[in-house]
Structure 1
Amino acid sequence: MKKLVLLFMLFLPWAAASAQFKHPGLDQSTADLAQMKSLVLSGTQPYRAAFDRMKESIDLDAEIKAFAHVLRGSYGRPNIGGGELSKGANTAYNAALVWYVTGDRQYADYAIRILNAWSATLWDFDYNDAKLLAAWTGHSLCNAAEILRYTKSGWKQQDMDQFRDMLMTVYYPLMRFYYPQANGNWDGAIIHSIIAMGIYLDDKKMFDNAVDHFLHGPVNGSIFKYIYPSGQCQETMRDQAHVQLGLGEFAGAAQIAFTQGTDLFSIANNRIGWGFEYTARFLLGDKPHSYGVISERAKELRDDYEYVYRHYQRAGIHFPHIQRAADSVRSKAGRSVLTSVRVAPKQPASLFTPVLATHIGIVGAQGEKDMTVAPENPIVVSPGESIQQALDKAAGGKRIVLVKAGIHTLDTTLRMPSGVRLIGEGLKTVLFLNPASGRDAIVNASDDMSDVVISNLVVEGSTKTDPGTDPNSNRSFRSNAGNRGGIIFRSQHAGQMKRIKFQNITVQNCTFNGLLVSGAEDVSIISCNFSENGGSVVPGPRLQHNVFVSHCKNVTVRDSRTVTSPFGSGIAVLHASNVIIEHNEVARNGFYGILVTESNQVRITDNLVEGNDRSGVMLEYLHRGSSGVTVNNNHIHYNSGFGLESYAATGLKENNNLFAGNGNHSSQQKISNEKYIVMD
């Protein structure tokens, strides 16, 4: 049995757990700060100019006004004390840096007065953005405090104790449980601040907890939930200001961790870099592929690129669009240029060897027409016309029903007859079931349905076709979407339905299963995109999935994407045989990545399985267990459970898989002969 397993150093979760923290040790180490100071004082550009801009932004005569209760609502309405706290935190950090470089005590005094004023006054945060505001400001306050504490700044011990008390009684209780249900910039910021607090407070458990959430946080909470393998981000469809905010917070957390010898920049083939590269590419005028429409809102480049660019430059990794973005904002930047200084060339040893993600290309509904099937003598259906009438007309004749671009609102569930090819014109062909008209969008017209192709269209399972400016607000765990299924094909016994093919379809936002095929033979699922299917509706969470195949034979799922099921698995296989799951992206699902139960002769190969909230691949035992399962040549990393978990499977063959960062275990696999039934 040959396998590649990337283990953590000394079998401990993180590097920082094996040694004391270095101080100062947040955005920069002692050596980094000294190098930055030398560059500034020698007049080296761009550092001197950045320092001058930062220093000029500080008004030493400005009043420091602290609040006991900081109240910030959504988008800053209301905002009582939030602006003052944000400005104060940034000014304190800037002033501490000026003090460090120049030795001018009035800047140290001003930074100390800011920290003392807030730590003596602040009691709590409230309203919608309470956690977010704490997260935005916590890491800046800690950076300022770290510099003041470890230089001869004159900060008194009693005031340091008071600051510590504020962190532990106001900041940490508010942030410690994170908030992954919000857009991912929230948890990125919370992680950033908790990592900073953990180091400042010399609390390794706090630091480790934040790093674990960075890697394994649920919903929108981890780096893998926020940045997809292509570099597209969870908020790409929302607006580019929030995307850059989220990227900056995750990268800021990685910047601090890197100072302590924990390399979060390099994980998963430098995932942070790909997130910045994708976004910079779009903001600089290119049009990268996106699952969903990239938002054109708030396209101004933020000042978050310099330290990311410098980090990868030192590592010998070139991201051309990150460099262009950094070049374009550098003349206006201040602190970000200074904190990009690291003592080169030595880097801390990475605990996480870069993983080359499986590339499956662009999948799901595509362009204006499906080139895989020549539209000979089609029955054409335009929006407003009856698809069901066209299907009934085509039944049995192996004819094509061509559904034109547009939103096709279904008054009743479509019933798919045998011998029909239902083809759309790509992403613009949307089949949308009226929420008052039934549960499932498409079902089989007869138990013995056969010779069916569905290709190049979208099945929209939400209660509306417009996701709005914040797609996260429409996710099934946040909205009352009801019980809505996608394509549901069921027969009465195994193999009753035959020869069913799905190609280049997109099925999304169904609270029930996205695709359920039960009792069929010869099923092909090729180059499809199943996203956000499988919610917490009846009969309950973890029972419906993106793709669910049961009591089927000869099934292929290839070159597809099964992602972001809120409560289900990416692919679930039950009582099936001769199943091939090959070259798919199976990611960010709320249950297992791939779940195989009581099935035989299943081959799982060459898949990217990442960021799922349980194990990446699970071979479950219920009564007899599975047999003849092969798991090989997969990239299985950063799932919250094991990479591969198996109970009482016979004839399991596992080889040449690349495991990394799964759970917090020294072992990346749990392969047991025990007839153990999972009950939680």
Structure 2
Amino acid sequence: MNNMNRKLSIISFLLLVVLIPLCSLAQPFVHPGVDQSAKDLAYMKGQVLKGAQPWKGAFDRLKAATDTAFTAVPFAHVLRGPYGKPNIGGNDLSKSAAMAYNYAIVWYITGDKTYANRAIGILDAWTPVLWHFDYNDAKLLAAWTGHALCNAAEILRYTNAGWKQESVGRFKSMLMDVYYPLLRFYYPQANGNWDGAIIHSIMAMGIFLDNRAMFDNAVDHFLHAPVNGSLFKYIYPSGQCQESTRDQGHVQLGLGEFAGAAQIAFTQGVDLFSIGGYRLAMGYEYTARFLLGEKPHCYGVISERAKELRDDYEYVYQHHKAINISLPYTERAADSVRSKASRSVLTAVRAPNGVTPTKGKTPIPDKTGYIAGATKAPVIPADAVLVAPGQSIQQALDEAAGSGRWVVAKAGIHTLPATLKIPSGVVLAGEGIATVLFLDPASGARETMVNGSDDLHDVTIRDLVIEGAASTTVPSDPNSGRSYRGGYNRGGILFRAQREGQMKHIRLENLTVRNCTYNGVFINGAAGIDIISCDLNENGVSVPPGQKLLHNLLLTHCSQVTVQNCRLATSPLGAGVALEACDSALISGCEIARNGYYGVLITESRGVTVSSNLVEANDRSGVMVEFLYKGSSAITITDNRVQFNAGYGVESYGATNCLSTQNRYSHNGHGKEQQKISAAKTILME
């Protein structure tokens, strides 16, 4: 992507405000300055020495742990497989890193060099020996241990602990020869807790090494990483997390790692807590709420596995309490584990800054396009044709054709022996999220449903799920079954006419289409399309005709289009919604997020309005109006919240009368330019 010489067409005062928290990236590092600054450490020590609680109790527990016998046993090659099998040296390194940090804290508080020498001994034992990490969890283990080692090293280095310069040099060498080469490319294809941990450690390493580029790179990855790697890929606008359907242990691990990275950044004056409307806090609130007995809405089935509260809440709670931000569920979670916690309570201490907090508030999850897709059963007409799983939906549709009657697929999995051919004049409905249409892979067909005739008209499909995956069984780790890993070629809905306007009056409502490698929904040549409150998610990969051509929603040669209150998210290699050669379309009130290409892609179209959407965390620009031959015209992009996209917020080339106004931008791309509206007839090439 060409990021050079980009000009900002429209800047609002709000844009300038939201960029301020990252301006401190240009400032020198403060030392010590990983989890806490010198002022923070001094304040923490003072609280412990005067016997203030809960810090004195936490210190007593920490000191008791450090007073037990421990000897570091270094390994040249540390091996850790999935879930710790095999595990050669992994536990030894993890324990060593934790104990080094523990000893450093106790040394700082007590001034007893016995503890400093123990911490130094651990670092000096590993630095000349460790050469290599290997096996499945190599990156993860390095990421887990790197920030703890750097915290210990930072305290020792800047508190007259007696750590010799040659030892400091060997530690630096280990970071750059062993840790950084392994971590520098991140691993966003894994579940997001991996990159959260990697970001956490690279930030810590950047500070210890006084390497600003390393630190800045980790901040950028925190904001803009692909797949599962950024905060906004990991925590959705509702607070649901990428791993919420996996298990709560991994969710809390991921939250803790992203919070750890934000804590380090805050020490250096970079505020990653408040961004996205306190997105990190919303992830904590959503998860704590579930662990404390409530059940928030979840796209997918929220996992009941590993529901024990971890010791990951203290710092987040204390940080927000200090600025008068109320996190009631996070507070309850922190309160419930504090009596057994030690280092986490001490390292959560920040020195008072003397600033009176503003009026308190609780972060509110974003409700744009929420809740979309199949949820509960609709009110079913008395004359509806009911079809139980195992019965023929196709036969029922054919019998109801032209009558306007409802054909209702009852709750359950309907395995289709062949692609459904939808006739005109029918409503195909389900009983909400419990009705799943699944095309039998043995059929050899690609689409779940197609138009039964070229002049399809007056059709509604609503309140059901179209499952595009090769199986309806969700793996224990859903990330392992994502569509881009599947090796199959399956689509959702394909309605294709022979000329523009041949199909008429098509409505999709409360529909979920997911996990298709082809398009989720592809409509060509229709007039009068309403797509309302649909959840099109994880569709569009790299099967023929190839990546960037397949999307969650693709509309070509269509007119009089409304896409409203939908969730158009997480296409691995496509856009949330793509319009090609369309006339008169409104995209409004939608969540268009986490897509591997653009959020909204408009090509050679006219009369398109993109309004009041949340467009975030897409891997290219949030909204792209591209030029190919004639260009688009009469494009209005207004009143959208466009944030954390890796490209521009809005980008346009060669469009006539392209108006982009009153959009609220935040942290798009890698510079201050948030928008590019160019009259040049530029064809973008890869």
* Contact 1:314–1:345 under 8 Å retained in 2: no
* Contact 2:22–2:271 under 8 Å retained in 1: no
Tell me, which stretches of 5 or more residues in structure 2 are unaligned? 1-8, 358-362
**Which of 263, 273, 282 is 2:281 aligned to?**
273
Q: Which residue of 2 aligns with 1:83?
A: 91
Alpha-carbon distance, 1:120 to partner:
1.2
Aligned residues: 673
Q: Which residue of 2 aligns with 1:302?
A: 310
**Which of 387, 390, 398 is 1:381 aligned to?**
387
- The one-letter amino acid paired with 2:327 is F
* Contact 2:282–2:365 under 8 Å retained in 1: no
Alignment partner of 1:605 is 2:611: yes
Alignment partner of 1:359 is 2:365: no
Q: Which residue of 2 aligns with 1:553?
A: 559
- 1:158-189: CA deviation from partner (whole Å, max 9, x where unpaired): 00000000000000000000000000000000
Q: Which residue of 2 aligns with 1:456?
A: 463
**Which of 614, 624, 644 is 2:620 aligned to?**
614
* Contact 1:483–1:511 under 8 Å retained in 2: yes
Alpha-carbon distance, 1:436 to partner:
2.2
Q: How does 1:22-101 map to 2 (within 5 A)?
A: 22-59=30-67, 61-101=69-109
Q: Which residue of 2 aligns with 1:467?
A: 474
Q: Which residue of 2 aligns with 1:184?
A: 192
SS at match of 1:456: strand
Q: Which residue of 2 aligns with 1:652?
A: 658
> What percentage of aligned pairs have identical amino acids?
60
For 1:57 and 1:456, locate their aligned partners in 2 and report how far apart those are by CA, in whole Å.
56
- The one-letter amino acid paired with 2:561 is V
Q: Which residue of 1 aligns with 2:3?
A: none
- The one-letter amino acid paired with 2:79 is L
Q: How does 1:184-263 map to 2 (within 5 A)?
A: 184-263=192-271
Q: Which residue of 2 aligns with 1:575?
A: 581
**Which of 173, 178, 184 is 2:181 aligned to?**
173
For 2:536 and 2:17, locate their aligned partners in 1 and report how far apart those are by CA, in whole Å.
37
* Contact 1:72–1:80 under 8 Å retained in 2: yes
- The one-letter amino acid paired with 2:255 is L
In structure 2, relative to structure 1, the CA distance for the partners of 1:24 and 1:659 (3 Å cut) is: same
For 2:296 and 2:365, locate their aligned partners in 1 and report how far apart those are by CA, in whole Å.
20
Alignment partner of 1:521 is 2:527: yes
For 2:499 and 2:18, locate their aligned partners in 1 and report how far apart those are by CA, in whole Å.
53
* Contact 1:454–1:501 under 8 Å retained in 2: yes
Alignment partner of 1:392 is 2:398: yes
Q: Which residue of 1 aligns with 2:484?
A: 477
* Contact 2:468–2:492 under 8 Å retained in 1: yes
Q: How does the TM-score come out when normalised to structure 2?
A: 0.96
For 2:356 and 2:559, locate their aligned partners in 1 and report how far apart those are by CA, in whole Å.
50
* Contact 1:421–1:453 under 8 Å retained in 2: yes
In structure 2, relative to structure 1, the CA distance for the partners of 1:208 and 1:13 (3 Å cut) is: farther
Alpha-carbon distance, 1:6 to partner:
4.8
- 1:624-666: CA deviation from partner (whole Å, max 9, x where unpaired): 1111011111000000000000001111112111001001121
* Contact 2:370–2:567 under 8 Å retained in 1: no
In structure 2, relative to structure 1, the CA distance for the partners of 1:416 and 1:345 (3 Å cut) is: same
Q: Which residue of 2 aligns with 1:110?
A: 118
Alpha-carbon distance, 1:5 to partner:
6.0
Alpha-carbon distance, 1:61 to partner:
3.3
For 1:128 and 1:18, locate their aligned partners in 2 and report how far apart those are by CA, in whole Å.
36
For 1:10 and 1:500, locate their aligned partners in 2 and report how far apart those are by CA, in whole Å.
41
Q: Which residue of 1 aligns with 2:426?
A: 420
Alpha-carbon distance, 1:483 to partner:
1.1
Q: Which residue of 2 aligns with 1:333?
A: 341
- The one-letter amino acid paired with 1:645 is E
Alpha-carbon distance, 1:396 to partner:
0.8
- The one-letter amino acid paired with 1:65 is V
- The one-letter amino acid paired with 1:456 is D
For 1:11 and 1:330, locate their aligned partners in 2 and report how far apart those are by CA, in whole Å.
35
Tell me, which stretches of 5 or more residues in structure 1 are unaligned? none
Alpha-carbon distance, 1:376 to partner:
3.0
For 1:463 and 1:271, locate their aligned partners in 2 and report how far apart those are by CA, in whole Å.
33
For 2:83 and 2:26, locate their aligned partners in 1 and report how far apart those are by CA, in whole Å.
41
* Contact 1:365–1:458 under 8 Å retained in 2: yes
In structure 2, relative to structure 1, the CA distance for the partners of 1:317 and 1:272 (3 Å cut) is: same
* Contact 1:609–1:637 under 8 Å retained in 2: yes
Q: Which residue of 2 aligns with 1:159?
A: 167
Alpha-carbon distance, 1:15 to partner:
3.2
* Contact 2:245–2:300 under 8 Å retained in 1: yes
- The one-letter amino acid paired with 1:320 is P
Alignment partner of 1:630 is 2:639: no
For 1:5 and 1:387, locate their aligned partners in 2 and report how far apart those are by CA, in whole Å.
56
- The one-letter amino acid paired with 1:669 is Q
* Contact 1:263–1:348 under 8 Å retained in 2: no
- The one-letter amino acid paired with 1:562 is L
Alpha-carbon distance, 1:13 to partner:
9.9
Alpha-carbon distance, 1:479 to partner:
2.6
